[in-house]
């Protein structure tokens, strides 16, 4: 029934959400990496119990076992690669923000922009949009 | 017929980009190839028209998307051929006129003629369409071409505002039109216009048909600038005059009229037909005439009179009898002749004197007598004086009106009053147009600046003026053409010969009264110095429109300001809270929480997976608990590598391979980032105290998310679909895709299109990274800066890595050394050997991916890692040199290959991404070998992933090493376009435009 993997996915998500809610850039990044692992596992769970089944390569008779569902695997494979692209972008984004703002802390980033005031003078996107 | 019409459309369509390119070398002489294009189209349409029989309809179609019932369906009948002749004929004249008008003061001649050609193609497409949706597509294309042409001098604010207004007005009404056309098609059950015209498809009394008609009418009103959409046309006069003469008097604005005529047989039976068209059309007729009288700019006068005349044409169809109308094409032709001519004259006057204001102009007749003669003929035509085609048109119009006398009082009297009133006003502003401009003596300053118009520019208006006279004096010449171009359902078959003189009829008497009162109005206005000629403020719809457009972003900004939360700490809990609550509620609804509690206790536990899961939990706890980033990062990587093991347990070798390689790349990447943050940041993070209430909230949200996802996961595994989609791929992997690895065949074959877009996303992510690292340094920011352009100096040879300039401790790497600082000889030697081994393995994975675990993604990450390894061991510069090519180019090549494998089959008439496979038997050493296009596709994917991985790591590694993120050459390549101030070229264009204004 894969109960242990279900609980593992839940724990991964819990820790990931906790980390993303932290103010530090690095913690947010770590949370994001964990989240992407958790979701990949969740999708893979859809292929069902792997015991008594073989890898999804047809015409490869391993004791006559039926192969597992290949579709979730294909989905997860691209998700891993795309996830890497997103994480890489996030890394550079944090790096750039750090260079521009001199802080690696999401709270400090908006420290002088309390409440509803738009944080325009500091937001790096301002310049890009001009 | 089909080849002729297709050629007429395709020549300008395909010629447009060529003209744009040719403009670079030819400059103002681009007009000659453009003229050749227009004449080719004209010849084709004329040849098609030569074979036309009265009341005949010829259709042809070319399949386009048969599955959707879409085709290139063309219809050649009198109406479409007439408009086709107008479009291509005027097109040729306008290009000739532009040859004289667009002198060397203008820039971008190529672009101008390209837009004109595009417009011409779109117009021809619209009029010849036999498919409702095809008509709409071309209809909108004319709007886009019009936008580009109005905004041609986009350096000037007037041009931009006019272009935007035209695009928005015609675009929005165009959407209404689309709704109407779709409704019509659905109601009728056919999309072919020829079938709709044949009748019998629509029940005119049904409400949905009425709705469809009203929607279509709104679209036509918008395009033809009918009240209340009349305001955009005068503002479109910011376009260069050839454009005004072509699009905004002769052709595009007539599309509304065309559409009404086209759908006359379809909707004439609708109850609302006459009231709606008569009210809108004749109201516009009066309003336009009045505003033309008030205007002082030559082009504005002409624009308002165009609005007025279009109203007349729309209203004319409104009072047409159910059986059809007479002579409508003559009325259209009349307007084309005199209005095109007058616009051209206005442009010439502007060119010669530098002004178009009737209050300033005077005495042009003595300086340019020929021009005055042309203008006289055209103005007389507009006023409807005898001897011109305008007179004939007006007489027949009034006769038609008198003949149509039935229906209610409003429909009987309103058009008559409107025509009489508007015609009188028209006579008045015609008098002003000519008498205030040509006779008398030119003011001194203007006389000094005056220069004589060239002969070339006067040829096209002369041709049109001759047309006004010839057809005015001998209207019988038009009769055969009108007979040939008659359309069943629209025209009455009994077309009698046109005559100039009908005796003293009611029409003639009314005409006399109109001319007399018009002259009186002119005399009165002139005597009172035009004080009464003021457009009241509430009539200025264009100002209201502009205000509304300007208010939109303000409203949006205010709403955004109300709703926005800048700090992640404010909005992330809301976001996560919503997901938890929404998902939780859905699961609760399905009773899945109960099921989980019930079954979880007895569920069997796989010991090996539980063991690995336990290790992952321990590693996760370390991520949370360890104090230093380095420790946390290692724990995080352990999680990733253990997930790899889980993938193995889930019988997913492809995933395990990918995950282990990606995990390594992620590790390197995050390490590079951490190397950039100084230790003080890390210390600051540890010291930071989160408020207890916040902490409780975070923990609660995390726990909630964890529980909800656990239940969700359990629901997924415990209720599997009886027939999962994967079975199809397993069964067909070998027979259809000729590969045994089902995961790979899904990626490259079955769902290859997804993969294609996914690698595109990777490419976009890389470009985003480059953008982030190449953007301008913030000038006011002293706290940190991008590492400066350290030039080409090689960090590997520099011994100690350069620490980036830019001031404080912020940019100093924490360890005091970049990633390439400490390199042992053993590491370097091993890395060199590994580099080759990894790449050989990667290529093997790529090659065999179709049948055993592997494939483009995995091989790409592998090869990418080998370059990362090289960068770590020898420095980034060296790794870049080994790769030789710029990684972005590698990725772009890969993307191009992948797209080529997708598109080439389409060109061969196969579906997108169709693959072919061959089996090579008994090769030496290798044995049987299956090769095919999937491998080519996979190579594309491979190259994208290699390029993306390398580029991502290289730029960050360079930056960490204290080098500029991009080498000097790369900076030039990517950054130059970004850093060029965008105001530059625009300002230059504005300058040009101003110079044109005060030319000579």
Least Cα distance to A81 among B853, B868, B757, B630 occurs for B757
Q: How far is CA B630 from CA B301, B595, B635, B671, B883, in A?
A: 76, 42, 9, 8, 30
Average pLDDT, chain B: 83
The strand pair at B70-76 and B58-65 is best described as: antiparallel
pLDDT, tens digit, 9 for 90 and up, residues B211-223 = 999 999 999 999 9
At B781, is the pLDDT very low, low, confident or very high (cuts 50, 70, 90)?
A: very low
pLDDT at position B909 is: 77
Distance from CA of B186 to the nearest CA of A (A): 39
pTM of the model: 0.65
Q: Is B654–A67 a contact, with Cβ atoms under 8 angstroms apart?
A: no
B351 with B295: CB under 8 angstroms? Answer: no
* Mean pLDDT of the region A22-32: 88
Name the residue among B606, B772, B781 with its Cβ closest to that of A4: B606
Between CA B866 and CA B534 the distance in angstroms is 78
Name the residue among A17, A59, A99 with its Cβ closest to that of B786: A99
At B716, is the pLDDT very low, low, confident or very high (cuts 50, 70, 90)?
A: confident
Helix axes B78-101, B255-262, angle to 10 degrees: 170
Between CA A120 and CA B112 the distance in angstroms is 40
B170 with B232: CB under 8 angstroms? Answer: yes
B539 with B291: CB under 8 angstroms? Answer: yes
Q: What percent of chain B has pLDDT over 90?
A: 29
CB neighbour list of residue B928: distance below 8 Å, 6 or more residues apart: B919, B920, B921, B922
Q: Is A29–B673 a contact, with Cβ atoms under 8 angstroms apart?
A: yes
Classify burial at B560, counting beta carbons within 10 Å of its beta carbon; exposed 0-12, middle 13-18, buried 19 or more. exposed
The residue of chain A with its CA nearest to that of B679 is: A104
Give which of B671, B673, B693, B868 to mutate to test A binding, by max A Cβ within 10 Å.
B673
Distance from CA of B785 to the nearest CA of A (A): 6
Is residue B321 classed as helix, strand or coil in its secondary structure?
strand
Name the residue among B655, B783, B786 with its Cβ closest to that of A102: B783
Least Cα distance to B387 among B426, B345, B338 occurs for B338
CB neighbour list of residue B539: distance below 8 Å, 6 or more residues apart: B287, B291
pLDDT at position B699 is: 93
Is residue B912 classed as helix, strand or coil in its secondary structure?
coil
3-state secondary structure B252-270: HHHHHHHHHHHCHHHHCCC
Q: Which residues of chain A have a CB within 8 Å of the CB of B713?
A: 2, 5-6, 9-10, 42, 45
Within 13 Å and on the Cβ side, how many CA atoms surround B578?
4
B203 with B209: CB under 8 angstroms? Answer: yes
Chain B contact for A90 (CB, 8 A cutoff) = no
More confident residue, B63 or B861: B861
Distance from CA of A9 to the nearest CA of B (A): 6
Of the listed ranges B388-402, B411-425, B489-503, the least confidently predicted one is B489-503
What are phi and psi for residue B297, nearest 5 degrees? -75, 135
CB pairs < 8 Å spanning A and B: 332
Return the residue matching tokens 């909800």.
Answer: B708
pLDDT, tens digit, 9 for 90 and up, residues B338-351 = 999 999 999 999 88
3-state secondary structure B590-627: CCHHHHHHHHHCCCCCCHHHHHHHHHHHHHHHHHHHCC
The residue of chain A with its CA nearest to that of B722 is: A48
- As for the ipTM of the complex, it is 0.86
Distance from CA of B240 to the nearest CA of A (A): 30
Distance from CA of B31 to the nearest CA of A (A): 37
pLDDT at position B926 is: 56
B22 with B35: CB under 8 angstroms? Answer: no
With vertex at residue B305, the alpha carbon angle to CA B302 and CA B309, rounded to the nearest 5 degrees, is 135
Q: Which residues of B758-793 are buried (b: 16+ CB within 10 A; e: fewer)?
A: bbeebbebbbbbbebbbbeebeebebbbbbeebeee
Q: Which residues of chain B have a CB within 8 Å of the CB of A81?
A: 658, 662, 758, 762, 857, 861, 945
DSSP of B782-813, one letter per residue?
-S-------TT--TTTSSSPPPPPSSSGGGS-
CB atoms within 10 A of CB B999: 15
Q: How far is CA A61 from CA A58, A65, A73, B335, B742, in A?
A: 8, 7, 20, 82, 14
Chain B contact for A81 (CB, 8 A cutoff) = yes
Of the listed ranges B172-176, B621-625, B710-714, B847-851, the least confidently predicted one is B847-851
Give which of A29, A56, A61, A121 to mutate to test B binding, by max B Cβ within 10 Å.
A56
Q: How far is CA B49 from CA A46, B5, B35, B53, in A?
A: 65, 10, 21, 9
The residue of chain B with its CA nearest to that of A18 is: B702
Distance from CA of B631 to the nearest CA of A (A): 12
Helix residue ranges, H only, B27-105 = 31-50, 78-101
B905 with B914: CB under 8 angstroms? Answer: yes
Measure CA B439 to chain center. 48
Between CA B839 and CA B848 the distance in angstroms is 14
Q: Is A34–B652 a contact, with Cβ atoms under 8 angstroms apart?
A: no
pLDDT, tens digit, 9 for 90 and up, residues B511-566 = 888 889 999 988 888 888 777 777 777 777 888 888 888 899 899 989 988 887 77
Name the residue among A14, A22, A74 with its Cβ closest to that of B705: A14
The two structure tokens encoding residue B487: 């359309």
B613 with A7: CB under 8 angstroms? Answer: yes
Q: Is B566–A1 a contact, with Cβ atoms under 8 angstroms apart?
A: no
Q: Is A41–B853 a contact, with Cβ atoms under 8 angstroms apart?
A: no
Q: Which A residues in the span 8-67 are in contact with B, Cβ-Cβ below 8 Å?
A: 8-15, 17-24, 26-30, 33-34, 37-38, 40-42, 44-51, 53-60, 67
Between CA B827 and CA B60 the distance in angstroms is 73
The two structure tokens encoding residue A69: 């569902």
pLDDT, tens digit, 9 for 90 and up, residues B202-249 = 888 888 999 999 999 999 999 998 988 888 888 888 888 889 889 888
Q: How far is CA B672 from CA B264, B641, B808, in A?
A: 71, 19, 19
């Amino acid at each position: 029934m894969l109960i242990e993997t279900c609980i593992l996915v839940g724990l991964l998500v819990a820790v990931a959400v906790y980390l993303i809610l932290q103010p530090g850039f690095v913690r947010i990044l770590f949370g994001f990496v964990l989240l992407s692992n958790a979701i990949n596992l969740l999708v893979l769970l859809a292929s069902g119990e792997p015991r008594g089944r073989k890898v999804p390569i047809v015409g490869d008779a391993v004791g006559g076992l039926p192969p597992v569902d290949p579709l979730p695997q294909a989905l997860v494979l691209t998700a891993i690669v795309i996830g890497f692209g997103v994480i890489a972008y996030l890394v550079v984004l944090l790096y750039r923000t750090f260079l521009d703002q001199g802080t690696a802390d999401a709270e400090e980033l908006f420290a002088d922009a309390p409440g509803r005031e738009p944080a325009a003078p500091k937001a790096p996107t301002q310049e890009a949009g001009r | 017929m089909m080849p002729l019409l297709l050629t007429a459309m395709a020549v300008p369509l395909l010629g447009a980009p060529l003209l744009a390119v040719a403009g670079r070398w030819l400059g103002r002489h681009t007009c000659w190839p453009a003229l050749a294009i227009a004449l080719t189209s004209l010849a084709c349409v004329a040849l098609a028209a030569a074979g036309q029989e009265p009341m005949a309809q010829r259709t042809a179609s070319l399949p386009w998307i048969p599955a959707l019932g879409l085709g290139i369906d063309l219809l050649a009948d009198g109406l479409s051929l007439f408009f086709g002749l107008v479009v291509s004929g005027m097109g040729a004249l306008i290009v000739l006129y532009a040859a004289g008008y667009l002198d060397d003061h203008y820039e971008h001649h190529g672009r101008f003629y390209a837009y004109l050609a595009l417009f011409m193609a779109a117009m021809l497409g619209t009029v010849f369409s036999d498919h409702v949706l095809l008509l709409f597509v071309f209809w909108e294309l004319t709007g886009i071409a019009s936008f580009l042409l109005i905004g041609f001098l986009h350096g000037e604010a007037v041009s931009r505002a006019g272009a935007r207004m035209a695009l928005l007005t015609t675009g929005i009404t165009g959407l209404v039109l689309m709704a109407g056309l779709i409704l019509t098609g659905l109601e009728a059950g056919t999309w072919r216009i020829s079938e709709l015209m044949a009748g019998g498809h629509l029940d005119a009394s049904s409400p949905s048909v009425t709705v469809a008609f009203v929607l279509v009418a709104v679209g036509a009103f918008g395009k033809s600038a009918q009240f209340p959409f009349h305001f955009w046309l005068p503002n479109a006069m910011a376009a260069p005059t050839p454009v005004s003469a072509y699009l905004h008097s002769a052709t595009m604005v007539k599309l509304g009229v065309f559409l009404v005529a086209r759908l006359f047989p379809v909707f004439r039976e609708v109850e609302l037909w006459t009231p709606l068209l008569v009210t809108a059309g004749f109201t516009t007729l009066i309003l336009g005439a009045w505003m033309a009288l008030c205007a002082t700019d030559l082009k504005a006068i002409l624009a308002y009179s165009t609005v007025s005349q279009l109203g007349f044409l729309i209203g004319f169809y409104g009072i047409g009898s159910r059986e059809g109308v007479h002579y409508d094409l003559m009325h259209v032709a009349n307007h084309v002749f005199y209005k095109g001519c007058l616009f051209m004259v206005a442009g010439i006057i502007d060119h010669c004197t530098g002004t178009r204001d009737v209050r300033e102009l005077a005495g042009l007749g003595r300086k340019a007598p020929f021009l005055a003669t042309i203008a006289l003929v055209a103005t007389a035509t507009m006023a409807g004086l005898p001897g011109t085609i305008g007179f004939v048109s007006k007489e027949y119009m009034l006769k038609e009106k008198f003949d149509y006398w039935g229906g209610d009082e409003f429909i009987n009297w309103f058009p008559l009053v409107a025509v009489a009133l508007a015609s009188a006003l028209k006579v008045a502003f015609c008098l002003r147009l000519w008498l205030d401009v040509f006779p008398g003596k030119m003011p001194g300053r203007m006389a000094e600046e005056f220069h004589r118009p060239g002969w070339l520019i006067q040829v096209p208006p002369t041709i049109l003026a001759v047309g006004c006279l010839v057809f005015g004096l001998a209207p019988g010449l038009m009769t055969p053409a009108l007979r040939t171009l008659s359309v069943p359902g629209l025209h009455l078959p009994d077309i009698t010969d046109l005559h100039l003189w009908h005796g003293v009829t009611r029409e003639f008497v009314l005409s006399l009264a109109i001319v007399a009162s018009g002259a009186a109005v002119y005399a009165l206005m002139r005597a009172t110095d035009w004080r009464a000629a003021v457009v009241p403020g509430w009539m200025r719809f264009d100002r209201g429109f502009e205000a509304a457009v300007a208010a939109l972003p303000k409203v949006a900004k205010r709403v955004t300001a109300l709703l926005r939360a800048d700090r992640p700490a404010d909005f992330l809990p809301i976001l996560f809270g919503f997901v938890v609550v929404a998902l939780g509620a859905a699961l609760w609804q399905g009773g899945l929480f109960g099921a989980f509690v019930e079954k979880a206790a007895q569920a069997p536990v796989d010991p090996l997976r539980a063991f690995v899961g336990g290790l992952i939990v321990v590693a996760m706890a370390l991520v949370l608990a360890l104090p230093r980033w380095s420790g946390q990062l290692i724990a995080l990587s352990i999680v990733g590598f253990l997930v790899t093991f889980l993938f193995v347990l889930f019988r997913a070798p492809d995933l395990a391979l990918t995950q282990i390689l990606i995990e390594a790349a992620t590790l390197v990447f995050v390490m590079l980032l951490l190397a950039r943050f100084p230790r003080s940041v890390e210390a600051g993070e540890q010291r930071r105290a989160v408020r207890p209430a916040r902490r409780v909230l975070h923990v609660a949200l995390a726990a909630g998310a964890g529980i909800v996802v656990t239940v969700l996961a359990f629901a997924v595994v415990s209720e599997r679909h009886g027939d999962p989609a994967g079975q199809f791929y397993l069964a067909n992997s070998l027979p259809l895709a000729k590969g045994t690895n089902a995961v790979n065949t899904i990626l490259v074959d079955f769902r290859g299109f997804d993969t294609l877009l996914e690698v595109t996303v990777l490419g976009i992510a890389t470009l985003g990274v480059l953008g982030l690292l190449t953007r301008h340094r913030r000038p006011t920011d002293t706290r940190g800066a991008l590492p400066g352009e350290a030039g080409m100096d090689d960090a590997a040879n520099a011994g100690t890595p350069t620490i980036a300039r830019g001031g404080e401790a912020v940019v100093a790497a924490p360890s005091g050394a970049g990633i390439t600082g400490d390199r042992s000889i053993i590491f370097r030697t091993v890395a060199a050997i590994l580099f080759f081994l990894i790449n050989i393995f990667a290529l093997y994975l790529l090659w065999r991916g179709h049948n055993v675990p592997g494939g483009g993604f995995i091989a790409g990450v592998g090869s990418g890692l080998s370059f990362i390894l090289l960068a770590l061991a020898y420095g980034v510069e060296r790794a870049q040199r080994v790769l030789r090519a710029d990684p972005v180019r590698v990725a772009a090549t890969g993307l191009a290959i992948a797209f080529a494998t997708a598109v080439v089959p389409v060109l061969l008439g196969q579906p997108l991404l169709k693959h072919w496979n061959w089996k090579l038997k008994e090769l030496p050493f290798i044995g049987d070998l299956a090769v095919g296009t999937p491998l080519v596709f996979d190579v594309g994917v491979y190259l994208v992933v290699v390029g993306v991985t390398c580029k991502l790591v290289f730029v960050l590694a360079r930056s960490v090493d204290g080098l500029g993120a991009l080498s000097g050459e790369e900076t030039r390549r990517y950054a130059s376009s970004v850093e060029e101030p965008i105001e530059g070229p625009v300002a230059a264009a504005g300058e040009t435009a101003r110079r044109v204004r005060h030319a000579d």
